[in-house]
Amino acid sequence: MKKIIPIIVIIIVIIAIFLLKGQDKEPDIAVLGSDLSLISYNNGNAALGINFLASEDSRSKLSLAIDSDNNGIFEATEWLVKDMMVLAKANKRNKVYFKAPDNFVEEQNILVQLDDESVSKNVSIKISDLSELMDLDTITNPEEAMKGLGVNLVYADDGLIEITQENVPDIDQKKGECAPTAAANGLISLINQHGDAEDKSIKPEELIEELKEDMKWNMANGVQSDDFVTGKNLWAARHGLPIRTTKVGDTHGIETIDPIREALEKGASVELRIKFANADGKSTGGHMVTVTGIHQGDGQTYLDINDPYTDAEEGSETVEVRSNRITNYGPYEGITALSWGFVQIWETPLSSGTALDPMTETETSGLVGEFDGQELSIVMQTSFEHVKPGEYSEIYAAIATVPGTEMTLSLAGPGVVAAKRQIIVADDNGQAYFVWKINTYGTYTVSGDPDLNSVIVVN
């Protein structure tokens, strides 16, 4: 009997410890909010808007059913979104697109599932007509226009890939202005990460107006793809910002996803041109969005985008990419295919990290050559630094051009120590850096072909 009592005591202690640990266990945190919305685009497409109460590190499967026949049962045929991979961010809204069912009017009884969580409620439908913002009717060059097929393509399976960018702006566009608006999202994102207080003071509406002029925007076609690159590089050069834009992928989007993923991995800002076509595959125009994330795994590819077309208050969008198409893109009725990607990187060419001097309109007017169909031929940015004050300073010129291009620059001024004329071949990234040592204050001129000229006052 004496041996049994200690055993009973031990068992009771073990049970007590187990119960106490169970009480200390953190309760599951709800992620899916109940603030749901439905949007109809008057073209047979629709969107589900959701809100998240908490953030998650990995994506969850989102599904949507609508009780279209109002019989109180969510039947197998009424599941319109199934296992869409979305990334939850606390206090953020997100949208996913789907084909609207019959009788999609006024109010619908819906069931939304996010992994093991679910919310069921009646939701009123908001009507959204974006045709005026698209303004596709006036387009004269649909293959190149940013205003406004399919191939059998399988992406390489490199395991699960999850990349997301935080705090990327989502500015609403005005009529026909998707390209400069999407570009402004990316530029502001980079400036907020790397720029100084003065850089961050620029107002979005002023930035967009400057980009429209630099990109040669017009009401008929918006912006051409090469002018988009030229305009962003000119804007950055004029403001003394080390931001370089390049065009990646191809016009049909067959080779666009991989360089977009690589750019996001490096922290670059990315825009994507999407191309519209009718049911017969004839191009009707295009549109520009800002890419903020990518998910690839199990043969699926999803992009997170900030779309200038849609109301920013409705949240960002998650779209599925199959082959070179975006499935069920809500605002457009017809085929929506991938096209060119545009990548912006913040590159400080000077080892010291000093900022580039802003360039005047006169200085930038001679810095842009012709396009070779891929990226800007020549952009030059200049600056200087007092390396050893009282002994010598250095003048720098950073060239962005086509890889392998041989560049020749000369420096003229009162105190060039040596090697006034230098020849450098652009590296694999299209970059060539020139350095001159000087020992006298004064006015210096960097010049070269074709028609490169920049005046620097060292004081």
- Band the pLDDT of 409: cuts 50, 70, 90: very high
Task: List, as one string, the DSSP characters of 302-332.
Answer: EEEEE-TTS-GGG-EEEEEEETTEETT-TT-
DSSP, res 147 = B
Residue 152 is assigned to a structural domain of this protein: yes
Residue 391 is assigned to a structural domain of this protein: yes
Looking at the fold, whether 240 and 333 belong to one and the same domain comes out as yes
d(CA 313, CA 311): 5
What's the whole-number average pLDDT of the chain? Answer: 81
Which of 127, 143, 163 terminates a domain? The answer is 127
Which of 297, 315, 346 terminates a domain? The answer is 346
pLDDT of 218 higher than 80: yes
Nearest Cα neighbor of 162 from 302, 48, 290, 20 is 302
**Per residue in 95-135, pLDDT tens?**
999 998 988 888 999 999 999 999 999 999 998 876 666 56
Phi/psi class of residue 279: alpha, beta or left (left: φ > 0; alpha: ψ in -120 to 50)?
alpha
- For 228-232, 244-248, 326-330, 398-402, which range has the lowest pLDDT when averaged over its residues? 398-402
Number of domains within the chain: 3
Q: Looking only at Cα atoms, what is the longest distance across the chain?
A: 106
Looking at the fold, whether 310 and 218 belong to one and the same domain comes out as yes
Q: Write down the pLDDT at residue 30.
A: 86
55-59 mean pLDDT? 89
Looking at the fold, whether 211 and 268 belong to one and the same domain comes out as yes
d(CA 112, CA 339): 32
Looking at the fold, whether 218 and 204 belong to one and the same domain comes out as yes
Looking at the fold, whether 323 and 396 belong to one and the same domain comes out as no
Looking at the fold, whether 230 and 116 belong to one and the same domain comes out as no
Long-range contacts of 392-395 (CB under 8 A, 24+ apart): 392/417, 392/437, 392/438, 392/439, 393/437, 393/438, 393/439, 393/458, 394/435, 394/436, 394/437, 394/438, 395/435, 395/436, 395/438, 395/444, 395/446, 395/456, 395/458
Q: Write down the pLDDT at residue 18.
A: 55
Amino acid identity, position 362 = T
**Per residue in 335-394, pLDDT tens?**
888 999 999 998 754 333 344 555 555 444 444 433 333 334 577 778 888 888 888 899
* Residue ranges making up the domain that contains 450: 361-458
Residue 202 is assigned to a structural domain of this protein: yes
